[in-house]
Chains A and B, each alone.
Chain A
Amino acid sequence: MKKILFFTIIVSTFSFAGKGSIYSRFGVGEINSFISGRSVGMGNTGIALLDNSYINLSNPAALGMINRSLLTAGYQYQNFASTDDGGTSLFGTGNINSFALAFPIYTPKKIALSIAALPFSTVGYEQQLSTPFNGTSILQTFDGRGGISSAQLGISYSPAQNVMVGFTTHYLFGAIFRDKSIVFPNGDYHGGSYSETFSMRGFGFTFGGIYTGIDKLFGFSETRQVNLGATVFTGSSMTIDDETLTDFSSNTDTLKQNNQSATLPVGFSLGLSYNLRNINYTADLNFQNWDNFKLKGVHPAEIQNSIRIGAGVEFLPPKDFTDTYLEKVAYRVGGYFRQSYLKINGHSINEIFGTAGIGLPLSAESRMNIGVEYGIRGTTSSSLIKDNVFRLVLSLTASELMFIEPPVE
């Protein structure tokens, strides 16, 4: 367990940055909607989903259900087919995208802790532009990479029956690298490049709550369970060190602007989960007030409020030890719509995704969740790009009685 923990932390630290959509050149990049390998198959929903066998990173209140130590790590492969009026580009990338460890502290009060690292946003694009010059053309290349990661510590607590609360402290950090280069077709002129590095850091908090007594309020039978969850992300006031290295005619010049600021805005989420026998139904609504986003004191014109609506269904296997392997597999399906925080050329950049997934038991202590997403982002009208996005998420979860004192016989 210790080896895995160490290994996972090291790998996760270096694996969050990667290439992505050209839309990630705006704002702080493509905002991550990943919650867990399990929730991917359910339309990335789960604000109100309670289970003792997985770490719910979307709502710290849900940690209270954990009764064993859990370790999970996720791998994501993305494939983009991006189309504009100039053609279609295919691009694939894969990396470890999350790590989480959670363990119960005091189960009667549902006190549990989680430690996690996952991307908050990802920047990854490369664009080229050819412009005429002296009967030939010069090539301007724009390249971006990096993103913001979240190292977070969550805790849950149950102050009353049917009520669980929790909060997560996010340390948001990372760097966004934006390069621009100019290349001339021959050696008569000097090209040059600008390399800008935004190093960002700041704290943010997510408060969450789940109410599990709705089914009782409405007098549902015991086979039906309805949970209502909500979270508030406080936003973050981040500090930015902006360094631009200009490379021209064999000279270099560095311009530093330290202690600039970026304001990540407040976000709200509401979730509902409904369990009927071995079926979970989930629905989430997320809103983030990106109208208040500011980068170095300026609100970028292309940034708007974002809304996300998702729903999913999970078919859980019956807990019968005599079942065959296939009968122990969980099946999931879902989808979501997101009005992203981008509004370019007067068009909101919207996404619609369908998702599916399965949960495979690997042993009594571990499970692999496989989720796929396929969706469309944007449009080719108004000189925009339409991304056809396919994502495959593999998530491994192991459990152990670590930190738990065995009962004295």
Chain B
Amino acid sequence: MKNFFAGFFLLLIIGCAEKPKMIGGNLVGTENISSLDTVTIFAAGNSTFTSTLNMGYATSNLAGRTANNEEIISFYNFIPVHAFDSLVGATLDTTEIRLTVNYRLHVTAPPVEFDVREITSSWTQSALNKDSSASKAIGSISIGTFSATDSMNLGSTIKAKIDTAVIRRWIESYRDTSTADFYGFAVQPKTGVVTGVVGFSTFSDYSGYYPTLVIKYTTRFGTRDSMIVSSGEDTYIARLTTPPATFQVYGGFGVRSKLLFNVNAFDKALMIHGATLTLTADSTSTLKSGLVPDSLVVFLGIKGTTDVDSFSTSNFAYGSHSTDSSGNNIYQFDVSRLVQSWITNINVNEGFVLRWASEFNSAERVVLYDSNADVTKRPKIKLLYSHR
């Protein structure tokens, strides 16, 4: 019996298997071989809408005015991290807000000018947007100005002197609970001046060029000193005067588009090996700075309860700008995974939601040829697929 046991172990140990070389392709059977086919499908429709976005936590706080006289207003609420004890009984000599430019679009000389106004109602950077009631609560009096002499070049720090009485009130709002709350400052483009959009480094920006409030003062003992506040909240709001009429995406303003394709004719068993979405841009109406990645992003649309713009944040594809053989400016996206999910009914086909990739940090606008355009410029998906 011991021999049996030992022998059995021996057999187990010498058991082996190795991977064979490949032969037998002839016996695969034609019905098992996947053959590849290509087809191009064109967009079945498109629409453009404006989303209500909260722009807090962006790395550029935008302010400016478009050619259509549409305003972008940035909001700042400085929050002191130091005690104000040294300011008790002190005289505020000068107070100024300093902002560092990190984005600009169509700013020509003379540069854009901004007024600084007091915000008169409560807001937070996580909730304020173009449709918030608080976005309208901006004081009518200018308490400071970023003037035409300020350079709007990238990296430049622009300064606006602020009425010291306002800053005193801001200080007291923190020291004395009986004083009315203070809600911060709005930077609003001056009316009727040259158009353009500027972006300023934000409190969320990692560059270190935070918005700064500089207070210079003379103490009650007669010594001069200064205090710098560079923490707080910020955001911006941008409103269009009229809804966009063309198929486009518009950063900053939250303008996005929906693009529909009909894939009902495809067999569920189809395997998608490549699906390239091509969008052609209308260069004459497109506004780009060249300072942010020239990319669009498409998301898988999902059916929202009320919104037409619901999309899946985990299903998306980026498309970068290039030029095709005819010289058209195009954006191409690998949407294989998204299209496959429609065909296999993993996701319901609610189309794509399209937006500018740097939507929160820039005000670029890309106007695209729509589903009614010439066939060479119409949105299309080229599919490479196989049957099982």
Contacts and interface: CB of A to CB of B under 8 A. Distances in A.
**Which of A191, A366, A400 has most B Cβ within 10 Å?**
A366
Contacts of A131: 33, 35
A396 B341 contact: no
Interface stretch (B18-26, B97-105, B238-246): B18-26
Interface string A235-258: 000000000001011110100000
Nearest to B18: A92
Interface stretch (A15-23, A113-121, A208-216, A260-268): A15-23
B34 A251 contact: no
B8 A8 contact: yes
Contacts of B90: none
B20 A384 contact: no
Interface in B332-365: 336-337, 340-341, 344, 346
Interface stretch (A51-59, A122-130, A151-159, A287-295): A122-130
Contacts of A138: 36
Contact of B271 (A133, A248, A398, A400): A248
Interface stretch (A39-47, A181-189, A331-339): A181-189
B55 to A, nearest CB: 31
Contacts of B386: 182
A278 interface: no
B218 to A, nearest CB: 65
Nearest to B19: A126
A25 interface: yes
Interface size grouping (class) on chain B:
35 or more
Interface size grouping (class) on chain A:
35 or more
Given A246-B271, A366-B1, A189 B384 contact: yes
A190 B33 contact: no
Nearest to A94: B15
Given A188-B274, A400-B1, A194 B26 contact: no
Given A82-B23, A246-B271, A384-B27, A93 B8 contact: no
Interface in B1-45: 1, 3-5, 7-8, 11-12, 14-28, 32-36
Contact of B336 (A15, A87, A190): A190
B337 A18 contact: no
Contacts of A73: 8, 11
B1 A385 contact: no
Contacts of A248: 271-272, 340
**Which of A15, A23, A190, A344 has most B Cβ within 10 Å?**
A190
Contact of A89 (B14, B15, B23, B32): B23
Contacts of A363: 1, 3
Nearest to B16: A94
Interface string B53-67: 000000000000000
A84 B273 contact: no
A191 B3 contact: no
A90 B14 CA distance: 18
A84 B23 contact: yes
B20 A90 contact: yes
B16 A4 contact: no
B388 interface: yes
A3 B337 contact: no
B33 A251 contact: no
B24 A398 contact: no
A163 B117 CA distance: 112
A180 interface: yes
B327 to A, nearest CB: 23
Contact of B26 (A7, A246, A384): A384
B16 A1 contact: no
Contacts of A315: none
Contacts of A190: 272-274, 336-337
Given A80-B20, A127-B22, A398 B1 contact: yes
A88 B16 contact: no
B23 A251 contact: no
A323 B18 CA distance: 42
Interface string A75-88: 10100101111111
Contact of A194 (B35, B337, B388): B388
B23 A22 contact: yes
Nearest to B274: A189
A308 B20 CA distance: 28
A25 B29 CA distance: 11
Contact of B24 (A92, A365, A385): A385
Contacts of A398: 1, 4
A91 interface: yes
A192 B273 contact: yes
Contacts of B22: 86, 89, 126-128
Nearest to A139: B22
B34 A4 contact: no
B24 A127 contact: yes
B7 to A, nearest CB: 5
A348 interface: no
A274 to B, nearest CB: 31
Contact of A394 (B11, B26, B341): B11
Nearest to A15: B15
**Which of B27, B32, B272, B384 has most A Cβ within 10 Å?**
B27
B33 A129 contact: yes
Nearest to A398: B4
A169 interface: no
A111 to B, nearest CB: 26
Interface string B354-388: 00000000000000000000000000000010101
A342 to B, nearest CB: 10
Contact of B27 (A25, A87, A180, A249): A25
Given A3-B5, A182-B271, A93 B23 contact: no
A253 B346 contact: yes
A192 B273 CA distance: 8
A273 B296 CA distance: 82
Given A11-B8, A84-B26, A251-B340, 9 more contacts: A4-B1, A93-B18, A126-B20, A129-B25, A188-B274, A189-B384, A246-B344, A253-B346, A398-B1
Interface of A: 1, 3-4, 7-8, 11, 15, 18-19, 22-23, 25, 71, 73, 75, 77, 80, 82-96, 125-131, 133, 138, 140, 142, 180, 182, 184, 188-192, 194, 246, 248-251, 253, 344, 362-363, 365-366, 368, 383-385, 394, 396, 398, 400
Which 5 pairs, one residue from A and one from B, show the smallest C-beta to C-beta distance? A91-B20, A75-B11, A383-B26, A22-B24, A89-B21
22 contacts: A4-B4, A23-B27, A73-B8, A77-B15, A84-B24, A92-B17, A94-B14, A94-B15, A129-B33, A130-B25, A133-B36, A138-B36, A140-B33, A180-B34, A182-B34, A182-B386, A190-B272, A190-B274, A249-B272, A383-B26, A394-B11, A398-B1
